[in-house]
Every structure is written in structure tokens, then in C-alpha cells.
Amino acid sequence: MKYIYEFGDFRMDPAEQLLLRHGRPVVLTPKVFEALLILVQSDGRLIEKDSFIRQLWPEVFVEEVTLAQNISQLRKALGDGKNGTSIIQTVHKRGYRFTPAVRKIVCDTSRLSDIANEEQAGVVLAENQSAAADHPPAGLSHSQAALTARETPPIPQVLDIPESSRQRGFHILGTIVCVVIIVFVAGWILRARNHRSEHVSRTSARMQMVPILSLPGRVSDPALSPNAEEIAFTWDGENAVRGDVYVHLIGGEKPLRLTHTESGFTCCASWSPNGHQIAFGRCDDSGGAVFVVPALGGAERRVTSVACIYGNAGWPIWTADGKSLVIADHCAPEGAIGIVLFSLATGEKQCLSHPETGDRGDRSPVLSPDGNTIAFIRMHSRTVNEICTIPLKGGTTRVVTPDGGSFWALMWSSDGKRIIFRSPRQGINRIWKVSLDGGPVTAEHVYPEVGSQSHDGRRLAYIQSPGTWPTEAVRVTLSRTGERVLGVQALFASGSTSSALQPSPDDRELVFESDLAQDAGWTMEIWKSRSDGSDPLQLTNFHGHAGTPRWSPDGKSIAFDYRPGLRSHIYVMDSMGRNPHMVSSDRFEQQAPSWSRDGKSIYFTANNTGDWQVWRQDLASGEETQITHQGGYSAFESNDGKKLYYSRLEGGGIWTVPVNGGAEEQITDALHHGYWGHFSVVDSGIYFLDADAEPGPTIMFYDFHKRRTTPVLTLKENPLPWTASLAASRNGLTLYFVQYKLTSSIALAENFQ
């Protein structure tokens, strides 16, 4: 018997892992599809979180946050919450409930199974004869591709399921639905058989997905050793925030820790061709550098300084001869970051790519399987990127994805003919592919994720379910400014990412950036809520990236940054989200606005001069004045309107300068790299985050009068970097911050060929 489920606009075929909306496939990852099936089969009952996790991951330990990530992806795919509808209900602190009425239809598919078996045998025979194979369309499994429409589909039998089908009229409807689905699938598959594919052998029944490690915290950059028996990666579970490099023997018990980072961020492990050494990058307040460490443990060695992009230093990749590293670094002191070939013997750097001045630069280089071509991501802005290639020996940069978009990770196919990448294109964050010979970007169905491949292409190590970091917003009340904590309250937490909380002048409301709308793709909108997190209200609907909202002194307006195209600019709207309009010039990129105390000017950071500096714009005249000259990013005016307190993007503390310009003076060096937005100016001092404090990241208070810094609260989880995620009420009695908690899993896909 074959079961088909129908709810709302959707039809679900578990046997074929197929979900249709209005007859069109909805693309889901296998784990998200399993989550949907559990919900659909629950008959509307509450599914406790523990039970849900046991069903989804019966042999792997995961935490609730991983479940929340999968539910978040499912909600986005189903359009949950749009038009006021709720498909998956969250029961606070307990679990989830599937709310739509579900019809269960049973089809007699015995003859269909016979056809499947015959065709599967044909596929195997074709593989043995090295014949051309067929590639199924998006959303279809390869068992479906084995079917043909040469037989008349069986007439389905509809069962009366009391929990789901209470109306006899559903019997006839179910029969029709089942016939239509089978005919639709058969017809689609017949059409698919006319198209060539070179991946059928890769997705045969021989391929296996094997869980390797599940660790609390953030795991990133898995890299298979040359013999494909070990995996190097970075992990922050034993070194909160910073992370270190580890090596794990596949099948072994415990990974070996190779580094002990004291400050900053560690990234990008890469094996030498002989497997004896591992290169990696590290960013801190002093800048970025690439290091080499023995794969069996030992002292690390610094080999060169490099630029940092969001905590990633260089993305080093060894060349096949082991004599050089491909890195991302400045090609000129004031130029953008390009792809560079670095000689380990001489220290010489040869610039291969030359991005335009004003771009964020090039990052994430990956060498082709033959070692002759580099693929990389060119960042025009944080959300507008391109995938490019360039020969290792130098030459012309070629754009592979001229339509642009956001690209988060990439790798080569094992034959070197395609680039596989993760991107939130066309409404869903998933894996895509593009041919080097040209043609459109299409969905990828062979590789389960972007990761690290073995040289023979038979193994792939990857992170399961990568994506946004689910966050928790927290409110803290204090007895007095900078003193004893009275209470800590979690405001809201979900599988979504919310950050940049800012209280209104009267501390009754919050404004923040979030993807709570579950919109298509990677989008952030401006929201507001009560100060306890209740009654959230979406203020913007740009379907883009809006962030860093700040209240005007009178509480009537909100300034924020928004990226309508290539660059971000400063916008202002009223407190209900009406009349959003750009107030800054559109020549360069501007971010992180804040108001002067009299409400007549807005401060922001801009890269007009080639690096980030703080500027002030008079709202009446539009005149813009540069305030800092040694670097500046997020800034707040003092209560008397005479000084400006600001941070720098690269880290290095909190600084002050007169509002009309002058000497720039450092107040503290404890606001570190990656946390430019984790400080807030109040009447009597400054709250800020010291990410390097012991025993963990700690909120500190600097007293203006005493000129002394004291600890206030140590975070239980990790602070969210690269956001403005620490704020305080003007009187300093209430704090707001954002933290995140992850569980990461490394998996291994085997037997691709």
C-alpha cells in the first residue's frame, strides 16, 4: 500500500519523498521532509520536543536548537504565518502541533512497484555498460526516475480514516487525487527520461550518509585529509567564541585539539598535500594571520599576515605541490581584498584577482580537482556577491554567476565541470550548481551539502543543516547602574535570528532586526515589540536586508540601514513603520546609524575614504561631515552632546572624540574583534562586552566619574558577533543582549561512485 497525505494546498508522497504545492514540487532537505512527515502523521496531537528529536535523530545526540532550525526551514518552505495562517504551532517550552486537517489516501501500488523494480534493474545495467543516465527533475528521487508511464496506473482505494477524513465526500476526492498524482508523476518522469544526466550513478543505493561527530557549539570548515581517513575542523565548544583547530580520525573516539586560541576567531583548516601539516587563519584585534601546525600536534607557526573578513583570515588553501598557499588578502595597502598566491619559501605574494575599490573583496578560494583553477566569491556588498574563477597561474577573472545573489559556501564537483554552492536563491536556502560552460543556475540533487571531498570524489565531509544561528533575546534588570543583577528574563527565542535590540527612550518598547517573517531567502526586516518581547510587530516589508534600528530621542522616529541594491544606506521612518525614506547620500555604503541627542543629526559609518569612518549628517541641510580619521564604525553621542563614543570594525576597544572633531582617545581595549556593536552609552558610563574575559564573555561597565571598569554579568551562551547586540535603557538599569546556542554535527557521505 502507498500512502499519500493532503493538507491545504499541499500533497505529500512519503514513499517518493515528494511534496507538491498546487502540483509544483516544494524542495525540502531529507531531514526537513522527515520532520514534516512526523507532524503530518501526528493527527494534530502535540509532539513533545524530546519525542520529536528521538524520532528525527534516533542514533545521534542533538539539542533542541537543531530541531528548531529544521522547524524554521520547514515553516519557510510551507509559507507558515503568511496571510495570517498558522501551519505549525509552537507550544511554549513543550513542542509543536500540526494544525491543518490532513486527509490520508491509500493507493494500491503493487503494479507500480513491479514497474519500479524493472526500471531499477535497467538503471543498474545502464551503469555497468557506462550508458547515459537520466536526471530527475527538482524534488523527485531517483527511485521515481526509474518509473515509466507505459502501464496504466492502478485505481486507488480510499480508506476512511476517522482522525483525518470525516466526510464521505473525501472518498471520491481521494480517488481522484491519487490518480492525478500518479499520472502526474509518471508523466513528469517520462519527460525527465528524455534529458541527459551524469549523476545517476552517484545517487544510487550504494551512497551512504554516516554521522561522524555531534558536538555542542559551532563546528565549521571540515576538511578531509589527503588519505580521506581524518577530518580537520574548527570548533568553539572548549574555547567559547574563539574556537580552535581539531583533527578527528574517522571511527575514532575523541578529536585531537591542535591550537589554543587566546583571542579572536579561528577558521579555515586546510591539509598540506602530504597530510603532515594543517594551515589555518586567525583574526584578532591586531589583525589577521595564517598559521601552520603539525597534524599530530605541536607548536603553531605564523607564516604571513592577511586581511580579515568577518573573522575569517585568509581562507588558506594548499597548492598541489605543497610550495604555496592560495589566500585572500589585500593586493595593495589601500586596495580591496583579492585572491593571492603566497610562496611558503620566499614569502612573496602574487596578486591574481583585482576587485574594484569599494567592494568588500574576494573570499573563500577553492582549488579545482586538477589544481589549475581557483573558484572564489566576490563580495560587492554583504548580500550582493558573484562566484568567479581565475587560473592558478594568473589570467582573466571569469564571472560564473552573473545574476549575483548571496553565496555562503562553495566547492567543485569531483569532475571539475561544475561549482556547487549554498545560497538562499528563489526563496529557499539550499544547494545549487552552475556549469563552467555556461547555462543557468539549477538546483543540486547529488551532493547533500557543500563540504570537503576526497581526491577520488567518493567521500564528502560536511556540516549537517548549516544556516542561521537561532538566537535568544535576554533582558537584565539591575539594582543600580553597573551594579547587582536583580533578574534575567528570556524575551523570545526561536529557530530564527533576531538581533540589534534597542529600547525606546521610555524603555517601554524594543526595536530590532529579525527574520521572524520567515520570508523567502535570507531577509532581515525591522520589528518592534513591548519591552518584555510581547506583541511583536513587523515595521518594514522590503524583502531585503534592513538592520541596526535606532530610536530618535523623542521616540517618534526610527533610523536604520537598508540595502536596496549593491550598497546599504541610511533610512528613517516613523515609529509605526510609515514613510520609510533614504536620508544619506547614495554614492558610498553607509551603515549603523545613531541619533544626536537633539535629534537634528544622524551619525553613521561610511567607506567614502576607502575604510570605515564615522560621519555626521545634518538632517535639515543634508550636509555630511567626517568625524573620525583613524577608523570608526558604531557611534553614540554623550548625553551632553559634546563627545562621541565609538568602536572600530576591526576591534581594538572603545574610543572617544569631540563631536566637532579632534584628538581620538581610547577608553578601553576590551571591546574585541567581531563585537563592534556590543556597547551602549548611558548617563553615567558605558556598558560593553569583553568577549575574552574569564570564565566567559562578560558584560562590563565603565564608570565615567570613577574611570573604572567592573564586571556585571557573565553570559551563559555565546554572544552573537558582527551585530549590534548589546543595549541599555538610558538610566542604565535595564540591559538587553542576544546570545545563541548551537549543536553541530559532521557527517560523511560515502560511495558517490
Handedness of CA 397, 403, 405, 407 (dihedral sign): negative
CB distance 520 to 427 below 8 Å? yes
Percent of the chain residues topping a pLDDT of 90: 55
Across the range 2-31, mean pLDDT stands at 85
Q: Compute the distance between CA of residue 207 and CA of residue 565 in angstroms, rounded to an integer.
A: 42
- Cell 565615567 belongs to 704
pLDDT score for 753: 56
User: Do residues 482 and 491 make contact, with C-beta atoms less than 8 angstroms apart?
Assistant: no
What is the rounded average pLDDT of the residues 26-51?
89
What is the identity of the amino acid at 220? S
Nearest partner of 180 among 20, 70, 387, judged by Cα: 20
Distance of alpha carbon 657 from alpha carbon 639, whole angstroms: 14
Q: Nearest Cα to 225, choosing from 160, 269, 159?
A: 269
Most confident of the following: 113-127, 178-192, 617-631: 617-631
Pairing mode, if any, of strands 557-562 and 569-574?
antiparallel
Rounded Cα distance, 527 and 521, in Å: 18
List strands edge to edge, sheet with 219-224: 219-224, 230-235, 244-249, 256-257
Confidence band of 607 (pLDDT split at 50, 70, 90): confident
Asked whether the predicted pLDDT for residue 198 surpasses 90, the reply is no
**For position 752, what pLDDT does the model report?**
67
In three-state form (DSSP H/G/I as H, E/B as E, the rest C), the secondary structure along 227-292 is CCCEEEEEECCCCCCCCEEEEEECCCCCCEECCCCCCCEEEEEEECCCCCEEEEEEEECCEEEEEE
Does 506 have pLDDT greater than 60? Answer: yes
pLDDT digits 0-9 by tens, 674-733: 999 999 999 999 999 999 998 999 999 999 999 999 999 999 999 999 999 999 999 999
Question: 235 pLDDT exceeds 80?
Answer: yes
- Residue 484: the pLDDT is 94
Give me the pLDDT at residue 107, please.
Answer: 67
- Cα separation, 573 vs 575, in Å, equals 7
The sign of the CA dihedral 668, 674, 678, 679 is positive
pLDDT at 281: 97
3-state secondary structure of 95: strand
Residue 579 backbone dihedrals phi, psi, to 5 degrees: 55, 55
Arithmetic mean of pLDDT over the chain: 83
Cα separation, 391 vs 605, in Å, equals 36
- Helix, strand or coil, per DSSP, at residue 467: coil
- Level-2 CATH architecture, domain 502-714: 6 Propeller (2.120)
Q: What is the number of residues in the chain?
A: 753
User: pTM here?
Assistant: 0.73
Tell me, yes or no, if the two domains 208-318 and 502-714 fold the same way. Answer: yes
Residue 201 has pLDDT above 70, yes or no: no
C-alpha cell at 618: 545634518
**Which segment of 106-110, 222-226, 408-412, 607-611 scores lowest on mean pLDDT?**
106-110
CB 6 within 8 A of CB 177: yes
Secondary element (H or E) of residue 71: helix 64-78
What gap in Å lies between CA 361 and CA 329, rounded to an integer?
9
SS3 of the chain: helix, strand, coil, percent, to 5: 10, 40, 45
DSSP-assigned beta bridge partners for residue 551: 558
Helices (H) and strands (E) in the chain, counts: 6, 61
Whether the per-residue pLDDT at 65 is higher than 70: the answer is no
**Which of 54, 390, 467 minimizes the C-alpha distance to 220?**
467
For residues 299-338, b (16+ Cβ closer than 10 Å) or e, as one string?
ebeebbebbbbebbbbbbbbbeeeebbbbbbbbeeebbbb
DSSP string, 276-336: SEEEEEEEETTEEEEEEEETTS---EEEEEE-EETTEE---EE-TTSSEEEEEEESSTTS-
Backbone angles phi, psi at 186, to 5 degrees: -60, -45
Residues 44, 162 contacting (CB under 8 angstroms): no
Instruction: State in words which class domain 2-197 has.
Output: mainly alpha
Cα–Cα dist 443/420, whole Å: 9
- Cell 553607509 found at: 590
Mind listing the pLDDT tens digit for each residue in 525-555?
999 999 998 899 999 998 888 999 999 999 9
Half-sphere exposure of 697 (CA within 13 A, CB side): 28
Categorise residue 210: left if φ over 0, alpha if ψ from -120 to 50, beta otherwise.
beta
Determine the pLDDT at residue 91: 85
Which run of H or E residues covers position 67? helix 64-78
The β-bridge partners of 514 are 498, 525
- The domain limits of the chain are 2-197, 208-318, 502-714
Note the pLDDT tens digit of each residue in 450-466: 999 999 989 999 998 65
Q: What is the dihedral of CA 146, 150, 155, 160, to 10 degrees?
A: 20
Write the secondary structure of 17-66 as one string of H (helix), E (strand) and C (coil): CEEEECCEECCCCHHHHHHHHHHHCCCCCCEEHHHHHHHHCCCCCCCHHH
The label of the residue with cell 545526540 reads 61
- Going from the C-alpha of 669 to that of each of 93, 655, 702, 725, the distances in angstroms are 40, 9, 12, 19
- Answer yes or no: is pLDDT of 196 > 50: no
- Residue in 662, 620, 629 with CA at minimum distance from that of residue 643: 662
Rounded to whole angstroms, the Cα distance separating 288 from 267 reads: 11
Kind plus residue range of the DSSP H or E element containing 118: helix 110-128
Question: What is the structure's pLDDT at 152?
Answer: 33
First to last CA, the chain: 32
At residue 136, what are phi and psi to the nearest 5 degrees?
-70, 155
The model's pLDDT over 493-505, given as tens digits with 9 standing for 90+, comes to 656 788 999 999 9
Q: What is the CA radius of gyration of the chain?
A: 27
pLDDT for the residue numbered 203: 45
Distance CA 570, CA 552 (A): 14
- For residue 493, the model assigns a pLDDT of 63
Contact 552, 538 (CB under 8 A): no
Q: What is the CATH number that goes with domain 208-318?
A: 2.120.10.30
Q: 66: closest CA among 39, 32, 42, 36?
A: 32
pLDDT at 241: 85
> pLDDT grade, residue 343 (50/70/90)?
very high
DSSP sequence for 154-196: PPPB----TTT---THHHHHHHHHHHHHHHHHHHHHHHHTTSE
Q: What is the pLDDT of residues 297-309, one digit of tens each?
A: 999 999 999 999 8
Cis, bond preceding 695 (omega within 30 deg of 0): yes
pLDDT at 169: 42
CA atoms of 719 and 739, how far apart (whole Å)? 4
Answer whether 181's CB lies under 8 Å from 130's CB.
no
